[in-house]
Structure 1
Amino acid sequence: MQQKKQRVAKKACDLVSQCIEKHAQVVGFELGGSYAKGTWLPEKADIDIFVKFNKKTSEKDFRNIGTKIGFQSLKKHKPYTRHAEHPFVEAVIDGTRVNIVPCYDVSKGEWQSATDRSIYHTKFMSQKLSNSLKGEVRILKKFFLHIDVYGAEIAKEGFSGYVSEVLISYFGSFEKTIKKISELKKGQVIGKSTKKFDSPVVIIDPVDNNRNLGTAISMDNLGKFVLASRAFLKKPSKKFFKKPISKRIMKNNDKIVVVQFR
C-alpha cells in the first residue's frame, strides 16, 4: 500500500511540475494532507498537492490558473472540480484520489486564502507527531469513521483529518483524547488563544491561534463523539472500529441532540 501511494504521489507531482512551468504566477508546489504527514488511512488515503502562487496574484488569476493547472495535470484521469472557499481539482489515479489545490505562498499569519495554512499544518505535524503518535491519530480517525462523524465537508460537518491530528497532538493518545471528550463541558477550549469563540467546543488551530477548528463541527456530530467516547470508556471493544457501531450505540439522532455537556 505504501509503495503504491508513493508511486501515485510521484506521478502526480511530476504532472504538476510540468504544468506549473508555463505560469509565472506559480512559485512551486508541495505535498500536503495526511499522506505527507503519515497519518492516512488505507480507505481515506488522499494525496493533496498544494500549488503555491505568488502572494501578489489576483484572486481571479488564483482561481482560474489554479483550476487550469489542476485540469491540465490530471487530464488523462477524468478530473473534476470540487468547491471549498476556492475551487480545486480532483481525480483518481490508480485507485487513489489526488487533489490539486491552489494556495498563496505567504508567511505564517499573513493568510490570503483558507488553504494557505495547509502547508504550515503539514510542517507542524511532521515535527510534532512521532511514529507512535501517528498511530494514535489513525486510531482516532478510525473511531471517527465508524461512528459516522469523519469528514470536513460542509454537508458532513464532522471531524477532519487535521482535527484528529490536533486532538492527538494536544492530548497525547487516543485514550486520553476520548477521556477528555467524555468529560467535555459546553464551550470548552482545547488549546490556547486570547480570542473568544462561540461554539459548542473550541479547538484552537496550533498554526493560527485566532482560528477555531470547532466552528465546522455540528452539535449533532459532537454529541455522537461524546456518547461514543463515554460508551468506549465504559466497555472498550474492537467493535467501536467496525462499521455497525454507529447503529448500535446511537440508534437515532433524537438521543444525540439532547446530550448534556457537563
Structure 2
Amino acid sequence: MPRIALLQMCSGIDPDANGRTIVDALARAKADGAEMLFTPEMSNLIDRDRRRASARVVEEGDDPVLAMCRDAAAREGIWLALGSIAVARGDGRFANRAFVIDPTGAIAARYDKLHMFDVDLSTGESWRESNAYAPGEVLGIAEGTPLGRLGLAICYDIRFPALFEELGRKRCDAIAIPAAFTVPTGRDHWHVLQRARAIEASAFVFSAAQVGRHEDGRETYGHSLVIDPWGQVLLDMGEAGPGLGLVDIDLGRIAEVRAQLPSLANRRAIPK
C-alpha cells in the first residue's frame, strides 16, 4: 500500500524559490514514508506578465527547477510527478510540460498539455494560453511507478473526456491532473470533474493544485485531491493555503471497481 504525497503550492515569479519549495517537500515526503510526490501545474513559475516571464523560461535541458528536482529525487530516492513547468521549445513558443522523474533522477515520462486555456469568464477574467504556449500532440504515460501505469493530463485537459477515455483504454491505474484552477470555475466544477474522470477511467486521480493569491495577482482555487476509482474523495487539502498532504493507496481497489463496473471492458465504439 504505497504512501503518496501531494504538494499544494502558491508558486510565484521566482523559479529558484519555487524549486526550493519542491526540494523541501521531497525531503519531507520521504521522511514521512511517501514513495511519490505530486506537484501542481506551473510548479516552476506563475507570472501573467509574459514579457517578464519569458526571461525566466528556458529550454528543458537548461531549466534550473527541473535540474533541482531531478537531483533531489535521486538524493531522496523518491518518485516525483512534476505537475508541469513552463519550458521554451526553441521555436519562439513555450510548452506547458509535465514530467515524471524516477528515484534515480531519470525522466520516466513527459507530457505537453494538449488543450489550451483560452476563455473569457463572467467575472471579467480573460485567459489566452495559446498566445504563448503550443499544444502537445502525444499522450503521456509513465510505466513502473509506485501506482503502476500513470497517465498524465494538465488542468484544462480535464474538460475533454476523450483524453481520459483514451487513458482508460490504455488501462492506466492512476491519472495525474495537476492544476492552477481559477476560483470561479473551481467552486462550481473542480470536484465534480475530478470525480467524473476517476469514475470514467476506473482509476485513481491525483490532482495537486495551486492555491491562494499569487505574486502576479491571480488567484487559484486549491483543493488538491486524491480520488479512488469509485469516485470517493480520499484527500481534499482545501483552500486555506500551501501544504503537504499524505494518503495511503490501496491499489487493490482498481481491480475491485473494474470487476464491479466493467465499463472499460464493455465499451463499444459510438455509431456515427
Q: Which TM-score applies when normalising by structure 2?
A: 0.29
Question: Is the helix fraction higher in 1 or 2?
Answer: 1
Larger radius of gyration between Structure 1 and Structure 2: 1
More strand by share: 2
